[in-house]
Structure 1
Amino acid sequence: MTSFTLMRVGLIAVLGLFITACSGLQSSAEMPPASELETDPYEIGVGDTVAIHVWRNPELSQSIVVRPDGYISMPLMGDVKAEGKKPEQLAIEIDDALSEFIRTPEVTVMVTNPLSKEFRNRIRVTGQVASPQSVAFQPGMTVLDVVLMAGGITDFAADRRAVLHRQIEGEYQSFSLNLEAILTDGDMSTNYRLQPGDVISVPRKQLFRGEL
């Protein structure tokens, strides 16, 4: 091997280490286990169907879809903000408002068709996969499951630089994925269990990284 070739190989290696150090991605050891993350209480969203039952007042009970502006319309009360509220919270507010018109109302609210959850509880895979897509989350779903559902990676995928983006405490954090190890070597160390809202990004190979 010539000195020029050795120099080129060394330069590529140094660049690779530099880019990895500057990427800000957390190591696999820092990946939070999905089982340890608490599930947030359900909040009503636009498009959800809510069933409102007022005890001994069937004329006030109804099933209604949350409008695009986040409101529902209630007899005696008019428009009521529902979006972003927990069902029990909305029930208390309706109960308090109706107490001005009827004696000791007892209100219960149930979400019978959580349409907004369909979009909040999804997994997305983008970039160099055969079919980038958004799929419904299922308990136990892993990185490998979603990549296979997307048809696998393309010939141009930088499979050792894939990234999992996860929202933690209101902010997205990124974690390195080695799809080459998962798909080729059977190394499942980065085959993480997924959570609703996770995004998997598979970048394209780059010449200056020596990937082409």
Structure 2
Amino acid sequence: MKKSFAYLLLFTISAVQAPAQQSSGGGEQKQRSEDASEVKEEATGAKSTAEQLASGPNAPVDPKSFQLGPEDVLMVRVWNQPQISGVVSVRPDGKIGLPLIGEIEAKGTTPHELTQKVTEALSTYYKDPLVMITVQAVRSRKYYVTGQIAKGGMFPLVTPTTVLQAISIAGGPTEWADLKKITILRNGKVLKFNYKDAIKGKNLDQNILLEGGDHIIVP
């Protein structure tokens, strides 16, 4: 009788624990699924940014935080002064040249700060000049994606971009790519990236933000 009661008690405990374990496993699967969905949304957002870069007249930069550098292309507009307005590029020495006011240091300044500089310089010649400076193309900060990728090449680093987003912007890996052995070259260092893990929401700490000059290689 005691043995029968012990067996019955053991069976009852096992029956209670089994659904709990299944529920826990289901929770982990749900969390992984949610992580993977977030990663896919991130990649989709990256494609939208790329489309903006391709179709918009101005690069989508924050005029109060983006720092200009050599080769960046700017549109300078001065109200009612077409002889001063126009497209200029930041020279290798970090300066731009404008009619009437000459050279102005642009490297390291934001579009907002440069607008203030040009406005101040023009105030010597015009009363209350209205100046607007926008970035047409970002060429000072860029990254590269090469190898088994649909549309490899050089890309402007306009907004914060992760490795996964960069691969998505480049059209995604080809069917022959070794998705577990992607590397990022950064200042002489080699960083590893497992694409299969990333799209499943695993090891997301490897999905780092890119820096100017980074080179992603998809073998």
Give the TM-score of the pair, scaled to structure 1: 0.49
> Which structure's CA Rg is the greater one?
2
